[in-house]
Amino acid sequence: MTRPAVSSRDLPHPTREEIRLEGVLHALSDPMRLRIVRELAAVGEELSCSHFDLPVTKSTATHHFRVLRESGVIQQIYRGTAKMNGLRRDDLDGLFPGLLDALLDAADRQAVRPKSA
């Protein structure tokens, strides 16, 4: 699913061709991860892990970022002490045109709905 790491401190990512729709959907089916992706899309630029104020511990956050990276949804690189996260929009749009936008739009619509019973 992922490329081997050539040096320490660099992170294995799937190539574009290795990205699987099922993996992307699974990654996005977790509320915490969907939230991360929505924020990345809204801001439109790379964000450090610590920028996100998630209601989970840091180890759990690390886990979610890894799932997103290994599924091909985000790309991560170290920038000094920070680890920057960016949406792989080009790859996703190339593989699945319109999907990411449809997903983000769906998430936006749901976010506006009454949280409900």
Query: In what helix (H) or strand (E) does residue 78 lie, and over which residues does it extend?
Result: strand 74-79
Interacting positions 83-102 with its own copies (CB under 8 A)? 95-99, 101-102
The partner in contact with residue 62, picked from its own copies, DNA, none with C-beta cut-offs of 5 to 8 angstroms by kind, is DNA
What's the burial of 9, exposed, middle or buried (CB within 10 Å: 0-12/13-18/19+)? exposed
Interface with its own copies (CB under 8 A), residue from 7, 17, 57, 81 = 17
CB 51 within 8 A of CB 83: no
- Picked from its own copies, DNA, none, the partner binding residue 82 (CB below 5 to 8 A depending on kind) is DNA
State the minimum distance, in angstroms, from the CB of residue 38 to DNA.
16
